[in-house]
């Protein structure tokens, strides 16, 4: 199970506890829905889910966790598969999802989901990059700006010597 799925599931379980609490306060399903939406905002359970859980808990259900499901558990996001995709991406960030899928012998949909959710990467200018910058990457522009500020303080005419331009290649 992906990290994102686990967080969503935990939000859902927390809201079910809140529904159970509202039932103890003798709140109606509509009042409970309003309170859930106010407390959880865009992460709130849907109206149907709130009403379903309100009914089940009102009728005596005690456990707010999901019941065991029949069938084989999902195995699309094993650590081994995530590691394979990450290794391919580390070797060449310019590969697209189809090429990565061919190399690791997985369906494109699984590779796409691993790249987007597990590795938290997105496509930027034909290159896959992390969605979240590291602390070092965040600090680099700050240190460059401080260095330029120190130069300007030391030599007020420093900016007169700076040449700027666009991204045009000059031959």
Strands (E) across the chain are located at 121-124, 127-130
Q: What is the CATH number of domain 3-58?
A: 1.10.10
Q: Residue 113 corresponds to which tokens in the numbers above?
A: 């989901």
* Position 171 pLDDT exceeds 50: no
Strands (E) across 81-142 are located at 121-124, 127-130
Q: What is the pLDDT of residues 25-74, one digit of tens each?
A: 999 999 999 999 998 888 888 999 999 999 999 998 888 887 777 766 55
Q: How many Å apart are CA 100 and CA 110, to the nearest integer?
A: 11
* Position 76 pLDDT exceeds 70: no
Q: Residue 88 corresponds to which tokens in the numbers above?
A: 């391919």
Q: How many Å apart are CA 108 and CA 115, to the nearest integer?
A: 10
The answer, as to whether pTM is greater than 0.85, is no
Q: How many Å apart are CA 50 and CA 34, to the nearest integer?
A: 10
Higher pLDDT, 104 or 95: 104
Which residues on adjacent β-strands are paired with residue 123? 128
Query: pLDDT value at position 65?
Result: 83
Indicate the domain borders of the chain.
3-58, 79-130, 134-161
Quickly state the pLDDT bin for 163 (edges 50, 70, 90). Answer: confident
Q: Average pLDDT for residues 115-121, to the nearest whole number? A: 83
Q: Average pLDDT for residues 124-131, to the nearest whole number? A: 66
Positive or negative, the CA dihedral 85, 86, 92, 94 is positive
Query: pLDDT value at position 77?
Result: 67
* Axis-axis angle for helices 47-58, 29-40 (nearest 10): 130
Residue with tokens 């905002």: 41
Residue 133: CA atoms inside 13 Å, Cβ hemisphere, count?
7
């Amino acid at each position: 199970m992906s990290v994102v799925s686990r967080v969503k599931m935990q939000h859902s379980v927390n809201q079910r506890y809140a529904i159970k609490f509202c039932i103890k306060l003798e709140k109606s399903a509509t009042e409970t829905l309003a309170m859930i939406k106010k407390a959880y905002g865009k992460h709130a359970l849907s109206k149907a889910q709130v009403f379903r859980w309100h009914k089940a808990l009102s009728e005596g259900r005690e456990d707010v966790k999901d019941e065991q499901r029949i069938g084989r558990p999902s195995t699309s996001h094993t650590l081994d598969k995530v590691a394979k995709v990450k290794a391919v991406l580390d070797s060449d960030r310019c590969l697209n999802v189809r090429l990565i899928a061919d190399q690791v012998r997985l369906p494109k949909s699984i590779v796409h989901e691993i790249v987007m959710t597990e590795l938290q990467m997105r496509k930027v200018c034909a290159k896959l990059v992390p969605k979240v910058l590291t602390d070092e990457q965040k600090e680099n522009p700050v240190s460059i700006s401080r260095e330029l500020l120190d130069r300007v303080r030391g030599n007020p005419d420093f900016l007169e010597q700076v040449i700027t331009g666009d991204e045009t290649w000059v031959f």
